[in-house]
Chains A and B, each alone.
Chain A
Amino acid sequence: MIEFDGVTKRYGGTVAIDDLRLRIPGSGIYCLLGRNGAGKTTLMKLLAGHIAATSGKITAGGERVSPGHMPDSVNYIESGSAQFNMRVSRLIDTAAELQENFDRGFAREMADRFGLDPQKKYKQLSFGMKTMLTTIILLANNSSVILLDEPTLGFDAVTRDQFNTLLLESYHAHPRVIIVSTHLIDEIAKAAERLIIIKGGRLLLEADIGEIDEKAYTLSGPVKLILPLLDGLNCVGKTTAGSVMAAHIYDGRITPPEGVALSRLSLQDFFINIVGGKKSE
């Protein structure tokens, strides 16, 4: 279990994480969403013990986390992080030397599947391939918490799809907590089960993706028909063009009256409305 208990992280005068309270009870693929600067990377760094919290308590598997005590159960590599300029095969071997629970066979197989040339040195790899190698090294560790920070950055569409397969394969082979921070919301939704949205360093929403799919929808139609429906509904965003309105709802489904259409709200649109405050009235 992972718990953030009133955690605050300040960088000088900037508050990156603000009194965060979050509980992740057990295994699953969690998608961590937030706008740029929302505090996603800081949250991951705190959980991995890479940086110290200004205040509050973080625990992972019952162990208190701090830079002085990086838990063995949590594995995190920051995206775009510095690596030794070794050959791919040597880098995988070095990671295997350093990590007790490292599955070298899985790492080699994945490197081969994603076309990583084992003879190429790290600096010779493209940006996407560097990210892929880092992700493979992380997923090859069988520790109970894996933190993936922008793991598909620089990937083309095909590779992103392959990555989702890799993620699911890795999870089914070793069920554990995998937290994926990304901006490609709809793509990760194919693999993730739960969504964590943070805004301004605070937890905005933690919910099942299926539940969001059920509860997030758009009502569109004439303003005069839509507005009365919004009473008692949790409206996360509205778009008005003349006499027509689209209201984005996160609540129980209703049966719309004639003249009002109910359509599915994509995860990306839901996210944009909930964090971006899209109110183009």
Chain B
Amino acid sequence: MSNAAAWKVAKINLKNIQIPCLITAICVAAMLAQTSVKALVASGGGDMSGQLEISGGCFLWLLPLLAAIFVPAKNFRRIVNLGGKRGHFLRGALMAYAVLAAAVSAGNMAVHYAFDLPMIATGYFEGVVNLVDVFGWTKYGVIAAFVQQAAFLFLLAVFTHTLTAAQGKWYGLAADILIIAVVSVFTPIAPLRAVLAGFFRLILFAGPLPQTAACLLIAAALWALNKPVLARTGI
């Protein structure tokens, strides 16, 4: 199977996610504008000192998440209808998510350093919350934060793609029930809660190398599930 053909599919996918791009752009712009307006009001004497702002950069995360819904739900059939092959589609989607995860991670890092930190420095707000800070990724440096964030977003996209692709089939319904069962059963029971917390610690807080490796390995395992799922998907 040629990587060149898969890359062509990736490019087609990246060019055909206008709705996810639009939704993300609106959310990011709205949040950045809101924080800017509040800063302007504060600079004119308004009191914003108790306010905790959510960084507009966080909303960039919507892009890989929404793209991972649109690509299997909308683009798959259209690509096959233009003569694309399933194998190429699968690898092409993976490449598209890798590009999106890296781009969004870079974008959010840029927003964090060029917008959030200067806003915090003004002292107008209690703080500007960005998930790269919340998950503690920035304490390892810019490069590590970029890689950790990209790896997590890649996992998020692959997970969403897998779940979306399986919808409408019995195994998709089984996966939905399993996720609900895990969350609702594991949360109230302390030892199981610890297992769940351990999983999230691993994919979010384990430090640059273990966290990145865990995200990529889980993404690879999820991706392996996609091949039989796709083989059963009718057009």
Contacts and interface: CB of A to CB of B under 8 A. Distances in A.
Contacts of A134: 81
A36 interface: no
B79 A67 contact: no
A83 B81 contact: yes
Interface string A116-148: 000000000000000000100100010000000
B9 A68 contact: no
Contact of A51 (B12, B79, B234): B234
A77 interface: yes
B83 A137 contact: yes
A45 B235 contact: yes
Contacts of B77: 81-82
Contact of B83 (A45, A51, A66, A75): A75
B86 A98 contact: no
A102 interface: yes
A50 interface: yes
Contacts of A137: 82-83
A72 B82 contact: no
Contacts of B75: 84
Interface string A78-89: 100111100000
Nearest to A101: B83
Nearest to A67: B231
A98 B12 contact: yes
A75 B16 CA distance: 23
Given A52-B232, A82-B77, A91 B83 contact: no
Contacts of A45: 234-235
B49 to A, nearest CB: 49
A150 to B, nearest CB: 15
A67 B233 contact: yes
B45 to A, nearest CB: 50
Given A84-B16, A98-B79, A72 B85 contact: yes
B78 interface: yes
A50 B234 CA distance: 6
Interface in B201-233: 227-228, 230-233
A158 to B, nearest CB: 27
Contacts of B9: 98
Interface string A92-113: 0011011110100000000000
A260 interface: no
> Which of under 10, 10 to 19, 20 to 34, or 35 or more describes the interface residues of B?
20 to 34
B174 interface: no
A141 B83 contact: yes
B38 interface: no
B231 A66 contact: yes
A70 B78 CA distance: 16
Contacts of B83: 75, 77, 95, 98-99, 102, 137, 141
A45 to B, nearest CB: 7
A81 B81 contact: yes
Contacts of A75: 83
Given A50-B235, A67-B233, A83 B86 contact: no
Contacts of A99: 82-83
A35 to B, nearest CB: 23
Nearest to B84: A98
B85 A70 contact: yes
Given A83-B81, A84-B78, A98-B12, A68 B234 contact: no
A-B interface, 5 closest residue pairs, ranked by CB to CB distance from nearest:
A68-B231, A99-B83, A50-B235, A51-B234, A98-B84
29 contacts: A45-B235, A50-B80, A52-B232, A67-B86, A67-B230, A67-B233, A67-B234, A68-B86, A68-B227, A70-B85, A70-B86, A77-B81, A78-B81, A78-B235, A81-B81, A82-B81, A83-B78, A83-B82, A84-B16, A84-B82, A91-B82, A94-B82, A95-B82, A97-B8, A98-B12, A98-B84, A99-B82, A102-B83, A141-B83
Interface of B: 5, 8-9, 11-12, 16, 74-75, 77-86, 88, 227-228, 230-235
